Chains A and B, each alone.
Chain A
Amino acid sequence: MPKQTPLYATHVAEGAKLVDFAGWDMPIHYGSQLEEHHMVRRAAGIFDVSHMCVVDLHGNRSRDLLRFLMANDVARLDATPGKALYSCMLNERGGVIDDLIIYHMETVWYRLVVNAGTRDKDLAWLVRHASSFDVEVIERTDLAMVAVQGPEARNKVHSVLEGDAVKVEGLSRFSAAEVGELFIARTGYTGEDGYEIVVPTEQVEDLWHKLREVGVTPCGLGARDTLRLEAGMNLYGQDMDENTSPLISGLAWTVAMNPEGRKFIGREVLEAERERGIGQRLVGLLLEEKGVLRAHQKVIVEGVGEGETTSGSFSPTMGKAIALARIPAGDAEECLVEIRGRQLKARIVKPPFVRNGKPLY
């Protein structure tokens, strides 16, 4: 039996088509995935992301624990309580256990938001290492989460917050604040401005309806996937996993090798990988002929070698097919993608494909 979020009944009432996603009954769309995608690029959409797992770390050495477990360095957050950091958590082989967002709330309190599909292994990994740092790992099953995204998203949330809006109006990008019982972060997975809001389970339906009343469109996981792909954001399990290092996953920018003295799990393997020369790169592809790119299509870089698409879709904003692909390292700008036995031309580009609602290519 798939699990249901506290918004399950709301989704049914909204006419959602529900699918099993990572063991959860989640809305894939509420009628038209394309329409939902466009609403987020042009106005504001709301997503139920309560399947994602909120984990709080408490203890004097929470910071030390995270500096040991994360490829990115939470010391970057020291100066600014509320600041968020995107990071990979690596295994001893330098593979990605999960990608997550870390919020630095207080010296002794960090909040993590991890993927639904990796919850069990993430918690096991955190707990296993937390004991030697005397850090408490608390999964917050009492909390739900929605993402409100789009150029109008922040104003819509402010109107619902009424007098409390002043507490978030000045929030800078990639920062969070507590507003009463709400935890509001200016983060997201769409490439648009907006908020992710963590809310006590029993209040989430009320919040959903208030945002619907001010004209925010309900959006499913289908639109979430095309939005994140256009924004050039990786999807765990598809664009990277335990067998790929962040260095061949377009995530080198999230690996903090400085300061040199910081020891973190996976560091030595990544250093050795750099020393040897990084063999592959994750790039963006734009299909130049008619067709749709999908994950696991063969990519041929002439004279260099072969690779594979890791995510692919029709881009609703650009009106053409786009993909992320792992290909041999180099500076090639063109490749061929094999679709149903035919080789079609594609351009190799640097993601993102879309920023602030506008195509970059």
Chain B
Amino acid sequence: MSNLPQELKYSKSHEWVRDEGDGTYTVGITDHAQGLLGDMVFIELPEIDRELGAEEECAVVESVKAASDVYAPVAGTVVERNSAVEESPELVNQDPYGDGWLFRLKDVSGLEDLLDADGYAASIEE
């Protein structure tokens, strides 16, 4: 069973969202998703200030096996991108909820549509 922190919110497309308490929200991909994709070798992140719609394709994570799109789990504006994962994509495998975060959003909307940990766990068991 993959790791699913209770304090995070999740999308059905395997992103997680963390409320940083300062109006910004951090986004990454779940432990389940990184496990399915395998060893990461390339990551492409959205530009700062880009305005994302909910469910918009905004990043790409590529493992040795395959490329996979990352969707914006909520609408918002990109305020920060994790350049460390562009240099070291394996961080997403090693620490998907920590050092392997992808980008940070502000002015978000659509948080109410996200799943909690149990809801996401149920969705990946389907």
Contact = CB atoms under 8 A, between A and B. Distances in A.
Given A222-B65, A226-B64, A314 B41 contact: yes
Contacts of A292: 41-42, 62, 67
A33 B42 contact: no
Contacts, number: 33
B42 A291 contact: yes
Contacts of A276: none
Interface string A304-336: 000000000110100001000000000000000
Contact of A29 (B38, B41, B44, B62): B38
Nearest to B60: A340
A227 B49 CA distance: 41
Contacts of B41: 34, 292, 314
Interface string A25-39: 000110011100000
A128 interface: no
Nearest to B57: A340
Contacts of A222: 38, 64-65
Task: Report the contact-size class of chain A (Cβ under 8 Å from the partner).
Answer: 10 to 19
Contacts of B67: 292, 294
Interface in B45-70: 60, 62, 64-65, 67
Contact of A33 (B38, B60, B62, B86): B38
Task: Report the contact-size class of chain B (Cβ under 8 Å from the partner).
Answer: 10 to 19
Contact of B39 (A32, A321, A340): A32
Contacts of A291: 42, 44, 62
Nearest to B42: A292
A80 B38 CA distance: 44
A289 to B, nearest CB: 11
Nearest to A35: B39
B38 A314 contact: no
B64 A316 contact: yes
B62 A34 contact: no
Contacts of B62: 291-292, 314
Count chain B CB atoms within 10 A of each CB in A28, A226, A314, A316 and give the residue with the most: A314
A28 B64 CA distance: 12
Interface string A8-46: 000000000000000000001100111000000000000
Count chain B CB atoms within 10 A of each CB in A28, A222, A226 and give the residue with the most: A222
Contact of A34 (B44, B60, B64): B64
Interface of B: 38-39, 41-42, 44, 60, 62, 64-65, 67, 86
18 contacts: A28-B65, A32-B38, A33-B39, A34-B64, A222-B38, A222-B64, A222-B65, A226-B64, A290-B42, A291-B44, A292-B41, A292-B62, A292-B67, A314-B41, A314-B42, A316-B64, A321-B42, A340-B60
Given A32-B39, A34-B64, 9 more contacts: A29-B38, A32-B38, A222-B38, A222-B65, A226-B64, A291-B42, A294-B67, A314-B41, A340-B60
